[in-house]
Amino acid sequence: MSTEAEALELDAADPGHRELFDVPPAQGGDYPEVAYFAGNSLGLRPKATRAELLEDLDSWAALGVEGHLDAARPWLPYHELLTGPAARLVGALPSETVVMNTLTVNLHLLMVSFYRPTRSRHRIVIEDSAFPSDSYAVRSQVEFHGYDAEDAVIRLRPRPGENSLRTADVVEQLGGDVALVLLGGVNYLTGELMDIPTITKAGHAAGAIVGWDLAHAAGNVPLALHDWDVDFAAWCSYKYLNSGPGAIAGAFVHERHLGADLPRFEGWWSTDAKTRFEMTPESRPPATADAWQVSNPPIFAMSPVRTSLEIFDKIGIEVLRERSVRLTAYLAGLLAGLEVITPADPARRGAQLSVRVPGAGALSRRLRFEYGVIADSREPDVLRFAPVPLYSTYHDCWRAGAAMAEVTA
């Protein structure tokens, strides 16, 4: 096993950007700060977030309603400050991208447009290990349209004895009765990175619409949604995007659907900004992803997202991915001997390693209170470690490896 000194040498040679973040104090162990591996559940707070949020709050105090136009960052077009950075992060055009709502709300709004079932084509394909909210969302959608969820939702399972889905097995399930493919870009439980371009192409060849839940992919791995011809996608901003609990989410709609005659729920912010204050009863939606907005943006919730996206814009997701591969490989070596259910191939995983171990919940508590290592557990027997390249260190990984060796001995 690597030594502590070796881990510190690696940090000196390959530093991240920990200095940009507030790292919680440890409640146990020998070090003042936690070794934080729960960024796939809730990212750490950037230090700039507090000051920049207070600036927006101060505009409210100083200007009242006039802040819509006169604030340092005017509120009326505020969401446009996030569009460009979000588009660059997910490999999209600005016109295809909008930051709004929360993840599952966005999935429902997008399925209003893109899940259009018929008697002969009404099934939805998801992973059996999809995050529960995705299961709830697709089941409620098929039932809303009058179909039986037990029949209409196809749940993909790995082959017996395997932990991850094979791309070929996914493609094999895309028959002529499939209306929608909706998979997680990175699986929340196993950390498997799906082959998004291959599956998207196969879904289209089968005549289906293909959407992606990028909750665990955005800010974790490079994406090219426009070039991959993805129909739609949605993601949250509180995991790898470090924007705070329940942060405002994002959505993508490919440009070939923009301006098309699609069913869509509309509201105050769905209409063209240039004519919004003409106050007409009919919406005039723009030929951009903004047409899927419903309500005016919550400025103080958007502020932390803007701060976070600036960090990604400055550093670059490709640079972060390179460090992520190195850091995750180092942690994988330290966890050798345990049952890691995440694919071993770095090209098939993000910044996550999931370990199957009995009593995962109890072990997670021991790691936190005895060793100052924070990893989360998923019932019944999985511990998830996310070495986030922005703020995790090789020394954090060494601490996790040493702690796991002791608690599983």
pLDDT tens, residue by residue, 129-142: 999 999 999 999 99
**Residue 240 in marked binding region:** no
User: Is residue 103 marked as binding?
Assistant: yes
Instruction: For residue range 298-353, list pLDDT tens digits in order.
Output: 999 999 999 999 999 999 999 999 999 999 999 999 999 999 999 999 999 999 99
53 a known binding residue? no
Annotation-wise, does 238 bind a ligand? yes
Question: Does 204 carry a binding-site annotation?
Answer: no
Query: Residue 194 above 80 pLDDT?
Result: yes
Does pLDDT of 218 surpass 90? Answer: yes
22 marked ligand binding residue: no
What would the pLDDT profile of 343-357 be if each residue is shown by its tens digit?
999 999 999 999 999
pLDDT digits (tens, 9 = 90+) for 97-108: 999 999 999 999
- Express each pLDDT in 353-408 by its tens digit: 999 999 999 999 999 999 999 999 999 999 999 999 999 999 999 999 999 999 99
> Is there a binding annotation on residue 268?
yes
Q: What is the 3-state secondary structure (H, E, C) of the chain?
A: CCCHHHHHHHHHHCCCCHHHEECCECCCCCCCECEECECCCCCCEECHHHHHHHHHHHHHHHHHHHHHHHCCCCCCCCCHHHHHHHHHHHCCCHHHEEECCCHHHHHHHHHHHHCCCCCCCCEEEEECCCCHHHHHHHHHHHHHCCCCHHHHEEEECCCCCCCCCCHHHHHHCCCCCEEEEEEECECCCCCEECCHHHHHHHHHHCCCEEEEECCCCCCCCCCCCCCCCCCEEEECCCCCCCCCCCCCCEEEECHHHCCCCCCCCCCCCCCCHHHHHHCCCCCCCCCCHHHHCCCCCCHHHHHHHHHHHHHHHHHCHHHHHHHHHHHHHHHHHHCECEEECCCCCHHHECCCEEEECCCHHHHHHHHHHHHCEECEEECCCEEEEECCCCCCCHHHHHHHHHHHHHHCC
Give the pLDDT confidence score for residue 13 in this predicted structure: 98
213 in a known ligand binding site: yes
Residue 132, annotated as binding a ligand: yes
Is 312 marked as a binding-site residue? no
Q: What is the pLDDT of residue 288?
A: 97
pLDDT at site 409? 87
Total-model pTM? 0.97
Q: Which domains does the chain have, with CATH numbers?
A: 4-40+316-407 (3.90.1150.10), 54-313 (3.40.640.10)
Say whether 140 counts as a known binding-site residue.
Answer: no
pLDDT tens column, 224-274: 999 999 999 999 999 999 999 999 999 999 999 999 999 999 999 999 999
pLDDT at 2: 87
Rounded mean pLDDT of 170-179?
96
Local confidence band at 23 (pLDDT 50, 70, 90 cut-offs):
very high
